[in-house]
Amino acid sequence: NQIGDWIEQWLRLRNVAIEPQALILLVSCLGANLQLIENELNKILAQQPENKAARIDKDMIYENINIDKEFNIFELINALGERNGLKSIQIATYLSLQAKNNPTIMIVAQLYSFYLKVAKLKQRRNISEGEAAKLLGVHPFWVKQYLAAARVHTFSQVVGNIQHLQEADLALKGISTTQMSEAHILKSLVLNLLH
């Protein structure tokens, strides 16, 4: 939960700002590998004209880092949070075909983190966005997505989804026996998360 602050500070030292959605996208796609993040930011900054305002937006992230605008973990979490079945299945299918760039085990870990945060919100009533950001340890921009998901999921659905994610995790790690491929595990998981 401190990676975003580190990125903002790193950029501030270079007189560069970053939009909240670009920051979240960057962190969600690159994780906590500071060297990788620094390399990708340097690549973005090197391509900016000197007379242009120093501000990174989400389009710059999409253009300079190998992330598909419509079919990425960020969009899968959005679609599942909204319970958008068609979009969720389309994204899961695409990600399963790109397993080298999108390891299923990492997708499961990010979905688990998402639903765990939604579960925390479901246990609280009438929480403000600021309180929710503190509770979850996330950037305030990100909170709206968690609050929206908390509104469309019941607590029992969230708990059930966490159980589905744990089962998928065990299957991917070979702890539970299954004959399914990683792609099939991901698609089955997404269907389970929607019901």
Query: Who wins on pLDDT, 26 or 157?
Result: 157
- Report which DSSP code applies to 170: H
**pLDDT value, residue 141:** 76
Sequence letter at residue 75 = E
pLDDT at residue 150 greater than cutoff 90: yes
Query: Who wins on pLDDT, 34 or 122?
Result: 122
Q: What percent of the chain has pLDDT over 70?
A: 94
Q: Considering only 49-53, 70-74, 137-141, 164-168, which range has the smallest mean pLDDT?
A: 49-53
Q: Cα dihedral angle (23, 69, 40, 138), rounded to 10 degrees? A: 20
Structure tokens at 50: 């000197």
**pLDDT value, residue 53:** 56
Instruction: Grade residue 111 by pLDDT with cuts at 50, 70 and 90.
Output: very high
Instruction: Grade residue 1 by pLDDT with cuts at 50, 70 and 90.
Output: low
Tokens 């391509």 sit at which residue?
Answer: 47
Mean pLDDT, to the nearest integer, of 61-75? 77
Query: How does pLDDT run across 15-60, given as a tens digit for each residue?
Result: 889 988 788 778 767 767 788 889 989 988 888 776 565 888 888 8
Instruction: Grade residue 134 by pLDDT with cuts at 50, 70 and 90.
Output: very high
Structure tokens at 59: 């389009």
**pLDDT value, residue 69:** 66
Query: Who wins on pLDDT, 70 or 186?
Result: 186
Residues composing the chain: 195
Q: Which of 51-60, 152-161, 178-187 has the highest mean pLDDT?
A: 152-161
**pLDDT value, residue 118:** 96
According to DSSP H, which parts of 13-103 are helical?
Answer: 20-30, 34-46, 58-64, 73-81, 85-97
Coil, strand or helix at 115: helix
Query: Who wins on pLDDT, 57 or 122?
Result: 122
Q: What percent of the chain has pLDDT over 90?
A: 43
Q: In whole angstroms, what is the distance from residue 170 CA to residue 110 CA?
A: 15
